[in-house]
A and B are shown apart, each in its own frame.
Chain A
Amino acid sequence: MRFDRVWSRAVLIVALALAVAGAARAGGVNFGDDNDSNADDGPSYFGFVREVGGPGIADAKVTAALKDGGALVTRTDIMGVYKIPGFGKDIDPDNVTISCAKDGYKQANVLRRPRDNADAKDPIEVECYLQKQ
């Protein structure tokens, strides 16, 4: 169980690192140079979608929804891992709800890892559990 947890976190870190590496942006008037600023970035959201008591679930839909409307939607990879780039820093993470869905399952539980003393931009880990219907 402990080994599983360490291994899971390692997978997440690698996935996160790869995602960040691909974050160069293109721009026309700047002739393709990276003209983006991440000063206004809010935290991203990441984690597993798992079957209760089971493995990660691939191709599950994960939604980061705002209370006032608007959402970011992605899907889990083959390991059941997802990463949502996140909203702007003006959006309070407490107003963001993570949910997951997949045909044949219903959502059982969502666990958000506490961020004690975390920087406002630190990614937020949220695990979402599905149960077979």
Chain B
Amino acid sequence: MTRAFCLAATLGVLFACVGTGCCIAQTLTGAVSSAAEGAMEGVLVSAQKDGSPITVTVVSDEHGHFHFPDGRLAPGHYALRIRAVGYELDRPQALDLGATPVEVAIRLRKTSDLAAQLTNTEWFMSMPGTAEQKRPLIECMSCHTFERIVRSAYNAETFVPVLKRMAQYANNTIVARVQPRIAAREVNDDSVRKLAAYLATIDLSSAPVWDYELQTLPRPKGRATRVVITEYDLPRKSIAPHDVRTDAHGNVWYSNFVENFLGELDPKSGANRDYPIPVLKPDFPAGTLDLEPDADGNLWLAMMFQTGLARFDMKTRTFRIFPIDSELNDDAMQQSMVMPRALDADGKVWTNDVARQAIMRLDLKTGKYQRIDPFKLLAKGHLHAPYGMAADAGNNLYVMDFGDENVVRIDAKSGATTIYPTPTPKSRPRRTMLDGSGRLWFTEFAADKLAMFDTKTESFKEWGVPTPHTYPYDVFADKNGELWSGGMASDRVLRLDPQSGRSVEYLLPRSTNIRRVFVDNSTDPVAFWAGNNHGAEILRIEPLD
């Protein structure tokens, strides 16, 4: 009986492995240590098989031990990588996995270039200067890290033309693909000179090394080490995944911020597929931003400087484009957001007109756009920026005023605007999602807070993030009521329980610029997904609790 059971079990495993094409499951375990600390907790250990786009990362525990999940690494030759601020990998740099489990002792040495390891958050912590002086730098993160600034040798004068040049780049610009705007923007000369003068005090224009101490965040501990992170390299460095989400089959879809493609990733194989989006304005910056499904599961894209909206039919795998009316479509026209979720209510899809700080609404019957100024009741001369969007069942729109401090509701039928200032002034609400209970979850980018607006009671709640200078970009409320958030600064993903206030931050294996975040609620525990906008990769976080 026992032998028969063993045989059946063995055959079962064998057939299961053949079925998934995974060969024999391997186990990689080991311990991390250094001369300075002995056994080290909170070291990220990453393994990438030669030729594979997939990297798997685990984190060492309080004894320095780590363990890759069974079956996750197939036999082959693997490159190893670590992340532990202040250290670099000494040995081994690579290993072979065969038919038997492998145990490895990983040895770290002190790094000679700490600056190369700092996150934007750590640079914020390190730089001298007032909050007012540092404030403009939160815009820089959209295109590049602070390392580029602090390693430069520009002085207060030579920085000026650099800043003025960058101001003319489209916001969908990354280092791998710089995209100038067609419509020039006015730049405030005094502001540029003030910023240039400050940057010259924190870079290497006057000394070969920084005259301030480099501050670092602590390594992960305890709960923050109980996680598996998978990175999927995309096939071109110029792919900038912005919004990421999974479909019912587990495939991952993403908007490409700097190329006219919709991307699809198979997380089992790591294979990537590009769906070319028709080019409407060939000389204008390429790429899309917001990626949202409608009620039928078809994907909508906001086409940025290509202008208009695109709908991707998930069955036919084809696009239908909804161009902006020619009389509205000038060189500054830009759509960053789209909200099609409740279009069944009235046949309308919401979007925005970034240049005019306005909302637009597409009528699917006529193909015409209606422009709505949600801030017309407020004083002119103030900066507003309609950004993250959500719609309720009646297709009433909730939009984040990223330029200021408001959540705005636009009634779908009457067009009446109700403006709700956030409790924290100048919070700059960014991306948002509406849950099934009518709660609008959003980030307060400039205030370092996650927030909730209850559309039923019309009241706010706010939660400060645990690490200052995080500048959260987006938040997702999962099926358990926990919040997941990421951004462009800290290389960390925040998981926060709004009931208890308990939180954990998962350090990521690489410098990671996160925009839209997504949680796949079909798994248990849930799985977090996001793109690395500057790193041409998609990443998945699987918490072990």
Interface residues of A (CB under 8 A from B): 19, 22-33, 35-42, 59, 61, 66, 69-75, 84-89, 91
Choose one: A31, A69, A70, A73; the contact of B191 (CB below 8 Å).
A31
Interface residues of B (CB under 8 A from A): 132, 135-139, 163, 167, 171, 185-188, 190-192, 194-195, 377-383, 403-404, 414-421, 423, 425-426, 428, 446, 458-460
Choose one: A25, A69, A84, A86; the contact of B426 (CB below 8 Å).
A25
A75 touches B188 (CB 8 A): no
Complex: chain A residue closest to B192, CB-CB: A31
Once A19-B425, A36-B382, A40-B379 are accepted as A-B contacts, the answer to whether A29 and B419 lie under 8 Å apart by CB is no
A23 touches B135 (CB 8 A): no
Q: How far is the CA of A41 from the CA of B378 in the complex (A)?
A: 8
Once A31-B139, A32-B135, A41-B379 are accepted as A-B contacts, the answer to whether A74 and B420 lie under 8 Å apart by CB is yes
Q: How far is the CA of A59 from the CA of B457 in the complex (A)?
A: 11
B416 touches A31 (CB 8 A): no
Contacts A26-B446, A71-B418, A85-B378 aside, 10 further interface pairs with beta carbons under 8 A come to A26-B135, A28-B139, A31-B194, A32-B191, A40-B381, A70-B417, A72-B419, A74-B420, A75-B459, A88-B379
Complex: chain A residue closest to B134, CB-CB: A32
Q: How far is the CB of B511 from chain A (nearest CB, A)?
A: 23
B421 touches A66 (CB 8 A): no
Complex: chain B residue closest to A23, CB-CB: B425
Q: How far is the CA of A30 from the CA of B421 in the complex (A)?
A: 23
CB-CB < 8 A to B191: which residues of A?
30-33, 35
B458 touches A73 (CB 8 A): yes
Chosen A-B contacts, 28 in total, with CB atoms closer than 8 Å, are A23-B425, A24-B426, A25-B383, A25-B426, A26-B383, A27-B403, A29-B185, A29-B188, A30-B188, A30-B191, A31-B136, A31-B167, A31-B188, A31-B191, A31-B194, A32-B135, A32-B191, A38-B379, A38-B382, A40-B379, A59-B459, A72-B377, A72-B419, A72-B420, A74-B420, A75-B460, A87-B378, A88-B378
Complex: chain A residue closest to B195, CB-CB: A31
B187 touches A29 (CB 8 A): yes
A69 touches B381 (CB 8 A): no
A61 touches B426 (CB 8 A): no
Complex: chain B residue closest to A75, CB-CB: B459
Q: How far is the CB of B245 from chain A (nearest CB, A)?
A: 27
A36 touches B418 (CB 8 A): no
CB-CB < 8 A to A24: which residues of B?
132, 426
Once A41-B379, A61-B458 are accepted as A-B contacts, the answer to whether A29 and B186 lie under 8 Å apart by CB is yes
Q: How far is the CA of A69 from the CA of B417 in the complex (A)?
A: 7
Q: How far is the CB of B448 from chain A (nearest CB, A)?
A: 14
CB-CB < 8 A to A41: which residues of B?
379, 381
Q: How far is the CA of A89 from the CA of B415 in the complex (A)?
A: 22
CB-CB < 8 A to A27: which residues of B?
383, 403
Greatest chain A CB density within 10 A among B188, B377, B414 is at: B377
Q: How far is the CB of B60 from chain A (nearest CB, A)?
A: 39
Complex: chain B residue closest to A27, CB-CB: B383
Choose one: A33, A37, A42, A85; the contact of B421 (CB below 8 Å).
A85
A74 touches B421 (CB 8 A): yes
CB-CB < 8 A to A84: which residues of B?
421
Q: How far is the CB of B354 from chain A (nearest CB, A)?
A: 10
CB-CB < 8 A to A28: which residues of B?
139, 171
Q: How far is the CB of A103 from chain B (nearest CB, A)?
A: 8
Q: How far is the CA of A129 from the CA of B458 in the complex (A)?
A: 20
CB-CB < 8 A to A61: which residues of B?
458-459
